[in-house]
Structure formats: structure tokens, C-alpha cells
């Protein structure tokens, strides 16, 4: 390993420990490496940055993010939550169940945990507080359920992973359906246990809607839910690619906004601007992470790690390698932005799992699952801060409630790790 590489690794670790924004923690070591490599042309930086962005698959990312924001603008979040309340509100702690179910449904439109926490979360927490739930409890379940967003298709994290690691995004979308539903169910089980076996839970109210309002809520949520069918149906039917499906979803969301009389030229323009503002930093992080990953490969560190991991799998088992990777994902997810983690780890780890015969579709979904837990765990759990800001509650209070759901998340991750068929069944059935 060269001196430049040692300096790069040390500077990266120091910057991350100091809490420097991840784009600088990745970018500054890259610039240091260039300065310490006099024979390397500066143009290599631009070439590698643009090579990762020059991807047809990545074009769907702004599309799906736009759909998620537009659905909030159109008032679809209200309709989705009312739809969920109509389904599960009659049970004790009904709004907590509805929170999880609504997050699962909204995930089929946004693909983003932050969009879920910031958009749908406001509706969820307001109704829960009005019903008598403690604000911190409402905030905790909202933050925890937001991780379903990147698992249920469409998933922004899966789009980036597919583009970087050359894995079928469509197959990962379908592979994430069952794990996403399992996350929702396991969180609901957690709510049920608290509702029936804790003193606090026994005080939770039911929220059963009158028959007429219940019918209205269900009918009002169906058009929004059709977005999920439209995206996956068009991909499965071979009508369009993932990127084209994103465009179709955008036009459908605009149509819903017109029908609901919520869309104006101003609101549409503002939503488009907010989407661009959200994608801009994301793409900048992607370019910095792309160059950093290229340096690791150029210096041979990736090859050393791949050799070590391949030897580990040969000495023990593929399952042991998978579990070791899951542990890495859980740790990295606590300290690094999910997008950066995907871009940094995927070029290193995915070739290894392919070489030992592990299905990359299964492993890609598992990777996203593991990294997503980090968004509700300290010290850098982004959704904790988003929910804290929306609910006006201290981060520590949100964290105390949110981490209650981590055992349910870990249970799903372990089941997926030991039983790959949970992920691969649907893709293998429909994509032969």
C-alpha cells in the first residue's frame, strides 16, 4: 500500500470522526491523493465523476423523488393515512398500526425514507397527538416506519446500487416487496405487544371510523395506491424500463393532482425546484464517492479486501460471509449517509459476492436493508433529525422511541440473510 493511500484512509477516518459533511470526507482525501500522485493527470477526477453520472438508470432517481414530493403536495399523504386508519384503526393503538401501514403504502411512491418521514410523518404525528398518544411515541414510530421507504419499490437506494454495481434495478425492486411487507408486519407485531402487555400501551385508544367515513377513506386511497401497480406492472409487462416507469409515475401523479384540484403551475414548479435541490447534493455525493472508490481500486485496496473476503467464505461458509457483511452494513449505516455508503461499498463488495456464487439481487436488497437501519440510529441517523424537526421534539426523545423497533428490523434482516428465497422468489418467478 502506497504512502498516498495510507494518508487517504487516515484523512477519511479523521474527517468522518470530526463530523465533516460526507461529501467533503470523501472528496478531500481524493484531492489529497491527486496532489500526492504527480504523474496522475487532474482530468482523471472529472472523468471518473462523470462516468458514474452518465447512466440511463440514474435518470429515474429524480423522477421517483419528484413523484414522492408531488404526492405530498397533492394531499395524497392525507388520503393514504386515512386509508390505513380505515383498515387497522379499530384495534387498540390503531393509529400506530396505521402509521406503519401508511408508510408502507407511501413507500410505493416515494422510495425515500426522508420523504416518508418529512411528508407523511407530519400527517401521522399530528393525528396521533390529537388522539392522545405521547408526542415522542408518535415521533418514534414515524421515524422507525420510514425505513420501509427505501425497501418497497421504487427505491432510490436500489437505483443507485443497480447503476453502480450493474445489477438489475427491476429485479431488486421486485425482490424488495416481501422484505418491505415483513418490516411493516414485524413493526405491527411490536405495536401489538406494547398495546397488550405494557401499561402505556393499554391506554392507547382505538380509532374506528364510522361506516360511511370508512368507505370514503378506502375509496379515496385506491387511486394513490394504483401508482405502485402502475410502476411495477409496466416494468413486469415489458412495456417500459425502470426509467420510463418513473416518467409514467410522474405524469400519473400530476393527473391525480389535477383531479384532486391540488396542483397549480406554481405548486408544480416549486415541487420541481425542491426535487432538483434534493437531487443536486445527492449527485455531488455520488461523484465524490465514485472517485474515492476508484482510488481504492487503483491502489489495490479493493483487491486485497476481495481476496480476504473470498478466503473467509472458503474457510467458513457463504452464510458466514453474508452475516459479516451485514454487520459491516449496520455499523457503516450508523456513521455514513446511505447514498455514500452504497457508492463506497458496492464496487468493493458486490464483485466478491458474485465471485463466490451469491445472488447479487438478494445481496443488493440485503445491503439496502442493513444500511437503512442506520438512518434511525445515533449518532448520524438522518430520519431522527428530520422527525425531530417536524415534530419539534428533542432528538434524544425521538431516538429512545425509535430504537425500540430495531429488534423487529434485525429479525427481518436475519431472516433474509438465512433465507435468500424471501428476496429471490418473486424476481425468479417473473424474470426467467
Q: Quick one: 161 exposed, middle or buried, by C-beta within 10 A (0-12, 13-18, 19+)?
A: buried
Residue 17 is assigned to a structural domain of this protein? no
How does residue 186 score in pLDDT terms, banded at 50, 70 and 90?
very high
CA neighbor of 114 nearest in space, from 314, 352, 279: 279
Average pLDDT of span 280-298: 81
pLDDT at 414 over 90: yes
Residue 425 is assigned to a structural domain of this protein? yes
How many domains does one find in the chain?
1
Residue 157 is assigned to a structural domain of this protein? yes
pLDDT at 303 over 80: no
Residue 9 is assigned to a structural domain of this protein? no
For the chain, percent of residues with pLDDT exceeding 70: 98
> For residue range 200-243, what is the model confidence (pLDDT) as tens digits?
888 898 888 888 888 888 888 888 888 888 888 888 888 888 88
The CA-CA-CA angle for residues 392, 395, 399, to 5°, reads 125
Residue 297 is assigned to a structural domain of this protein? yes
How does residue 312 score in pLDDT terms, banded at 50, 70 and 90?
confident
Tell me if 21 sits within 8 A of 4, measured CB to CB: no
Q: Quick one: 295 exposed, middle or buried, by C-beta within 10 A (0-12, 13-18, 19+)?
A: buried
Q: What is the pLDDT of residue 1?
A: 63
Q: Give me the sign of the Cα torsion angle 422, 427, 430, 432.
A: negative
How does residue 338 score in pLDDT terms, banded at 50, 70 and 90?
confident
What residue numbers bound the domain in which 240 lies? 52-430
How does residue 363 score in pLDDT terms, banded at 50, 70 and 90?
very high
Residue 58 is assigned to a structural domain of this protein? yes
Q: What is the pLDDT of residue 415?
A: 96
Residue 346 is assigned to a structural domain of this protein? yes
Give this prediction's pTM.
0.88
Tell me if 220 sits within 8 A of 74, measured CB to CB: no
What is the overall mean pLDDT for the chain?
A: 85
Q: What is the pLDDT of residue 420?
A: 94
Q: What is the pLDDT of residue 121?
A: 76
pLDDT at 153 over 90: no
Residue 5 is assigned to a structural domain of this protein? no
Amino acid at each position: 500500500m502506497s504512502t498516498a493511500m495510507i494518508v487517504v484512509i487516515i484523512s477519511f477516518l479523521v474527517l468522518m470522526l470530526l463530523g465533516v459533511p460526507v461529501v467533503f470526507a470523501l472528496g478531500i482525501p481524493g484531492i489529497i491523493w491527486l496532489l500526492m500522485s504527480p504523474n496522475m493527470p487532474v482530468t482523471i477526477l472529472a472523468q471518473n465523476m462523470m462516468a458514474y453520472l452518465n447512466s440511463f438508470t440514474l435518470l429515474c432517481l429524480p423522477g421517483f423523488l419528484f413523484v414522492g414530493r408531488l404526492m405530498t403536495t397533492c394531499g395524497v399523504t392525507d388520503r393514504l393515512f386515512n386509508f390505513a386508519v380505515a383498515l387497522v384503526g379499530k384495534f387498540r393503538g390503531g393509529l400506530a398500526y396505521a402509521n406503519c401501514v401508511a408508510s408502507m403504502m407511501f413507500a410505493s411512491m416515494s422510495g425515500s425514507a426522508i420523504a416518508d418521514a418529512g411528508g407523511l410523518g407530519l400527517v401521522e404525528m399530528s393525528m396521533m397527538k390529537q388522539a392522545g398518544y405521547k408526542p415522542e411515541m408518535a415521533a418514534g414510530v414515524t421515524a422507525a416506519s420510514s425505513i420501509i421507504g427505501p425497501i418497497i419499490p421504487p427505491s432510490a437506494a436500489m437505483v443507485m446500487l443497480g447503476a453502480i454495481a450493474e445489477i438489475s434495478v427491476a429485479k431488486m425492486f421486485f425482490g424488495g416487496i416481501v422484505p418491505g411487507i415483513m418490516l411493516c408486519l414485524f413493526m405491527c407485531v411490536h405495536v401489538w405487544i406494547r398495546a397488550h402487555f405494557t401499561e402505556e400501551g393499554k391506554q392507547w385508544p382505538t380509532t374506528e371510523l364510522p361506516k360511511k367515513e370508512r368507505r370514503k377513506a378506502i375509496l379515496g386511497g385506491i387511486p394513490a395506491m394504483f401508482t405502485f401497480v402502475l410502476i411495477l406492472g409496466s416494468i413486469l409487462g415489458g412495456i417500459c424500463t425502470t426509467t420510463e416507469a418513473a416518467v409514467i409515475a410522474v405524469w400519473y401523479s400530476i393527473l391525480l393532482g389535477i383531479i384532486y384540484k391540488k396542483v397549480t403551475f406554481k405548486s408544480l414548479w416549486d415541487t420541481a425546484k425542491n426535487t432538483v435541490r434534493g437531487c443536486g447534493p445527492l449527485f455531488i455525493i455520488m461523484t465524490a464517492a465514485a472517485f474515492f472508490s476508484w482510488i481504492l481500486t487503483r491502489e489495490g485496496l479493493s483487491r486485497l479486501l476481495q481476496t480476504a473476503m473470498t478466503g473467509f467464505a472458503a474457510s467458513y461458509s457463504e452464510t458466514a460471509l453474508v452475516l459479516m457483511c451485514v454487520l459491516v452494513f449496520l455499523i457503516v449505516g450508523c456513521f455514513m449517509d446511505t447514498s455514500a455508503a452504497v457508492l463506497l461499498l458496492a464496487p468493493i463488495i458486490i464483485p466478491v459476492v458474485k465471485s463466490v456464487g451469491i445472488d447479487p439481487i438478494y445481496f443488493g436488497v440485503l445491503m439496502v436493508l442493513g444500511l437503512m437501519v442506520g438512518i434511525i440510529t445515533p449518532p448520524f441517523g438522518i430520519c431522527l433529525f428530520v422527525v425531530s424537526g417536524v415534530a419539534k421534539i428533542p432528538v434524544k426523545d425521538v431516538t429512545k422511541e425509535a430504537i425500540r423497533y430495531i429488534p423487529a428490523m434485525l429479525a427481518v434482516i436475519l431472516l433474509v440473510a438465512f433465507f435468500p428465497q424471501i428476496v429471490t422468489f418473486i424476481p425468479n418467478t417473473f424474470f426467467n
